[in-house]
Amino acid sequence: MLKIGILGAGAIGGVLAAALDQNRINARLVALADQDVERARALSARLACHPPVMSIDEMIEHSELAVEAASQAALPDFVPRALARGRDMLIMSVGGLLGREEWFRQAAEKNCRIYVPSGAIAGLDGVKSASVGRLESAVLTSRKPVAALRGSQYVVEKGLALESFTEETVIFDGLAEEAARAFPATSNVAASLRLAVGSSIPVRVRIVAVPGGNQNIHEIQVQGEFGRLRVTVENVPSKDNPRTSQLAAYSAIATLAGLTGSLRVGT
Ligand SMILES: NC(=O)c1ccc[n+]([C@@H]2O[C@H](COP(=O)([O-])OP(=O)(O)OC[C@H]3O[C@@H](n4cnc5c(N)ncnc54)[C@H](O)[C@@H]3O)[C@@H](O)[C@H]2O)c1
């Protein structure tokens, strides 16, 4: 059985670890790592398989596939170590992969695979198929509750008075690369779309602050030779981390289940 280690014992890591523990994936959880060692120990104690808590290095050493469910800031500690050991990876903090073409080159040299689940969006299967032909435009519109945007570096730097908004307000309109930098905790979806589209056209991202409500709503619109695609996901937030959508953890589970199962559906 595929040996899996997880970096990050938070909302996504916890749900993924529980799915492995309940044998919902044909793989074995062999190690946990987290900068908050107590959090990782508490997660391990809740699981029947009691995976050992290790350093990032040891966790990678013990795994065949290492999952990152920590933060964009963790990637420079995680990816080069996994590459050095030739391990496959599943990355949730996708924004941290943008501009890191050297990691993709090294992965190809080492024959490592980097898996990027769909996370909190849907439709990447269709976007990838569409990008085989000529694309004309790709736009992501993310509607986020004010509460989820509060404290973002961009909001603080721009001095945006989110609490004074009485209606939906576009607070960011720019390239996916800029969105991933401006909102590192919330713009992984922009980065996932960027990677799925490829480099032929820019990906435009609009972030809309919504007073009240608690849903992150992502809409993708892509147009090209194939026709037009429009996909909207109205996400329910994770109970452990309101900035994270429940679907994101499920997408990690579905990706691992797809890797270890005999049937693959979708592009
Ligand atoms: N791809 C997507 O669509 C998508 C969707 C939601 C969340 N995410 C991303 O997935 C990641 C995990 O999300 P979450 O909701 O589980 O977060 P979380 O805050 O609930 O848990 C993250 C855990 O990782 C640990 N951690 C953070 N940085 C670390 C580091 N540098 N080294 C070691 N441990 C570290 C924290 O201590 C925490 O226990 C985040 O980066 C989040 O932005 C991606």
Question: Contact, 70 vs 81, CB < 8 A?
Answer: no
In what order do the strands lie in the sheet containing 227-235?
A: 169-175, 204-210, 135-145, 216-224, 227-235
Q: Is the CB of 42 under 6 A from ligand 1?
A: no
The rounded Å distance from CA 241 to ligand 1 centre is 9
Q: Average pLDDT, stretch 156-161?
A: 92
In a domain, 267, yes or no: no
Q: Average pLDDT, stretch 148-175?
A: 91
Residue 267's pLDDT band, with cuts at 50, 70 and 90, is confident
Residue matched to tokens 């509060």: 150
Residue matched to tokens 């439709």: 123
Q: How confident is the model at residue 264, as a pLDDT?
A: 87
Q: Whose CA is nearest to atom 40 of ligand 1?
A: 71
- The reply to whether 218 belongs to the active site is yes
Share of the chain above pLDDT 90, in %: 84
Q: Is the CB of 259 under 6 A from ligand 1?
A: no
In a domain, 213, yes or no: yes
Taking only the tens place, the pLDDT of each residue in 87-102 is 999 999 999 999 999 9
Residues with Cβ within 8 Å of 45's Cβ and at least 6 positions away in sequence, in order, are none
Residues with Cβ within 8 Å of 108's Cβ and at least 6 positions away in sequence, in order, are none
Ligand 1 pocket mutation pick from 92, 121, 192, 245 by most atoms within 8 angstroms of CB: 92
CATH number at 76 reads 3.40.50.720
The rounded Å distance from CA 93 to ligand 1 centre is 7
Q: How confident is the model at residue 246, as a pLDDT?
A: 94
Task: Please state, in angstroms and as integers, the Cα–Cα distance from residue 155 to each residue in 78, 89, 178, 215, following that order.
Answer: 28, 32, 14, 19
> Are 95 and 26 within one domain?
yes
Q: How confident is the model at residue 182, as a pLDDT?
A: 86
Count of structural domains within the chain? 2
> Are 17 and 76 within one domain?
yes
Residue 147's pLDDT band, with cuts at 50, 70 and 90, is confident
In a domain, 18, yes or no: yes
> Are 105 and 145 within one domain?
no
Q: Which residues face 90 on adjacent strands?
A: 67, 115
> Are 115 and 145 within one domain?
no
Indicate if the pLDDT at residue 35 is higher than 80: yes
Q: Characterize the bridge pairing of strands 169-175 and 204-210.
A: antiparallel
> Are 151 and 235 within one domain?
yes
> Are 111 and 155 within one domain?
no
CATH number at 142 reads 3.30.360.10
In a domain, 139, yes or no: yes
Q: Average pLDDT, stretch 51-70?
A: 98
In a domain, 265, yes or no: no
In a domain, 208, yes or no: yes
Residue 204's domain comprises 124-243
In a domain, 164, yes or no: yes
Q: Average pLDDT, stretch 92-117?
A: 96
Q: Is the CB of 190 under 6 A from ligand 1?
A: no
57 or 215, which is more confident: 57
Residue matched to tokens 């480099």: 199
> Are 106 and 198 within one domain?
no
Indicate if the pLDDT at residue 72 is higher than 80: yes
Indicate if the pLDDT at residue 215 is higher than 90: no
Q: How confident is the model at residue 80, as a pLDDT?
A: 98
> Are 134 and 235 within one domain?
yes
pTM: 0.96
